[in-house]
Structure 1
Amino acid sequence: MPLTPVLSSYWDDPESWTLETYERHGGYEGLRRAFDMPKDDVIALVKDAGLRGRGGAGFPTGMKWSFIPQVGDKKGGDKPHYLVVNADESEPGTCKDMPLLLATPQVLLEGIIIAAYAIRAHRAYIYVRGEVVPVLRRIQAAVADAYAAGYLGTDIMGSGFDLDVVVHAGAGAYICGEETALLDSLEGRRGQPRLRPPFPAVAGLYACPTVVNNVESIASVPAILRNGVDWFRSMGSEKSPGFTLYSLSGHVTTPGQYEAPLGITLRELLEYAGGVRAGHSLKFWTPGGSSTPIFTEEHLDVPLDYEGVAAAGSMLGTKALQIFDDTTCVVRAVRRWTEFYAHESCGKCTPCREGTYWLVQIYERLETGRGTEADLDTLLDIADSILGKSFCALGDGAVSPITSSLKYFRDEYLEHIGAPCPFDPHRATLMAGELTS
């Protein structure tokens, strides 16, 4: 399956981030077409294209937009509408939105204007992870350029439509990638998930109707307006149409972003990336970041779309393909992920707050050879107490690599019982008693 560079088509341009470069590559043509259409027709077009959210859940973007109450609707149609772009890319292994924002920030802004026009919003927020200062500066400069060129502000391009965009830097909490925690953070409160309903489409930012979309979701909209529904649907599968960015990292010869149709396989992507690093073989991999159940070599030909990955027992998520070769200790890798989730748990709900803490304690024992076989059953018991019972998806994400690694690598867990890690280079010496620490 060939690659389909759309978002990344001119990332190699010496100044790809400038407004001039963006306009030279057809920038803001999609916006002009949107302004020639009724607002509801823009929503219908995105619906017909079948664009699904690129932030992890895969919810249809056009459908999400259509949930916004209209004027006169008792559920909030007379309140201001807001568009919020989730650029708080925090999932371990996920690295697609930040390169996109560095390389072509104007495509996000054009998508924001189209989306805001469609949902009748006159203020949009870009919530960026605070640590990525170069990205933050790049977006702020792009917003300033768009204002100067008349693409933001009042009466945009003579359409009569007004829009202001605010760039907001978060404080670096993983939980703020969850849309309602992001909204609380944006309002100046501690980032914690909200109870739903009401959903953001009815009572989101400042209790007003709000759409929250991922960077890549919004950035994909201008190309659809510019090229049409049939063009977009010519790529990908029937239920998961279009192109997307796959992030390959880890033990791969050429890591990076590979823009391809949904439904491509890891085997095909590895061919583009030069395969697993020389002299080693694939052991396990994540299809959508650390919060998705891991896959093994037997899953190399699973279609990487929402339905294909789900049918194989995992989730496409953010399409962060972390590749681990035969030198990797699965127990150590999952322990590191578990420590991350325990650290990032907001503590609002008991299953996640307490469960992730105890998972870390068990993994510490297992990796240092002090665990027991009963610990493996305890891991699964705790995972069961978290899965589906925590306030948001962080808890589910924390247990996904645990249950899946035990499913595929239970023997490796057993090798850790009463012995040093089998992947520790000092294992033989430790077992001989020549080292005590």
Structure 2
Amino acid sequence: MALTSSQKMHQKLSQTLKLLCQKATKLTTDEGVYDVAIVGGGMIGSSLAIALSALALKVVVIEPYPQTSELAPGFDARAIALSWGSMRIFKSLVLDKLIEEIATPISSIHVSDKGHLGITRLKAKQLNVSALGQVVELADMGKILFKALAKTNTKQYCPAKVVEMQLQDGYRGLSIELDCLDSSTKSTLDLKAKLVVAADGNQSAIRAMAGIETTSKPYEQVAIISTLESQLAHNNVAFERFTESGPVAFLPLSSNRISMVWMVDKTVSEALLEVDEAEFISQLQRQFGYRLGRITRLGKRFSYPLNLVTANSCTQSRLVLLGNAAQSLHPIAGQGFNLGIRDIACLGDVLRKALLENIDLGSAELLEEYVLSRSSDKSQVINFTDAAARLFANPSKLLSVPRNTALIMMNFIPELRSHLAEAAMGIGGRQSRLVRGLPLTLNRRYN
């Protein structure tokens, strides 16, 4: 029997409503499904999300601390030296000009041992580069990364934290707690991703949830950090001074300020933190000397213990650890963050390859390729930093002779100085696309 016009209209309306319901159900289902979930929105997590935006992936960042929070460990009062290689990566992300506006270039590095003749100097001009690196204050760097991240299509949950993680069919499922800093408003949300990236620092909660164990080597030292001013201009020179109390590092900052890191035995650290400003300056001056004249002003002092912590595995099924979640180094060579930035660049390479070759983003094959491509650079930097910490950060007089011999040899033997320069500039190991100045894009003409 033929349908009346009224029945036809009712049938068409029912079909339309059914189609809309199906679309709404799919939207609700897909809303919590991502290609990559990045846990940790600090320096490493934010930089990775910005890098991946060129690949048109569906990415989510989960960060427990608001961007303006003073509690956020990723953007605290410290300053770090971005190596020449790291700046190449940020140039490929079109962030180098913004960073240079808030950074202080390092024109040379001066390394010495108190009371001995051993000295090594590295100069940007001799290496045909404009600067060996750029010193940035983390709080300022954070503002640049947050603005850049906001311009991408990255979904952000902040403040939020992961409270549960489990493997699902083809995904890793995450249960996250929203508004995690306010118990009166917090709620939970479930999402899943083909690949989860743990970029949540050296106390990584994701690493712990995955049951990945770590190997820890304590140095029995504490790093005391502060900002100071000196009588003479620093002239963009970074200093590393080895003393009987421990290494002292001075990094140049804007307005003739200096970022100081003094690595001391943990038995004396508390006393140094408690003395007044004048006494602290007096003791620091005795160790560093007067290359910059008198130290005239000292900011607030902070401290943290020094350990070498490495994850026993930096991957698991549909999971990869980056930055300090994978390795936390002694600051003596200033390579920790720079090593993490190279982690990002390499992961970008393998994810780009996966998209071009239609490979599962979280496949064991892909993660194994990432591990192999990072193994040489990681092992070299970790071993170099650990050896330097044990040789140069050890106040033992028995080590003064080999320490000075090493400094003198590096200053006069070009091959050794070149090796030191490569380490300082972050250009060792396999060169990723971003380090080579190639955009992280699926356009094959950039291969």
When normalised by structure 2's length, the TM-score is 0.24
Larger Rg, first or second structure (1 or 2): 2
Higher relative contact order (CA 8 A, sep 6+): 2
When normalised by structure 1's length, the TM-score is 0.24
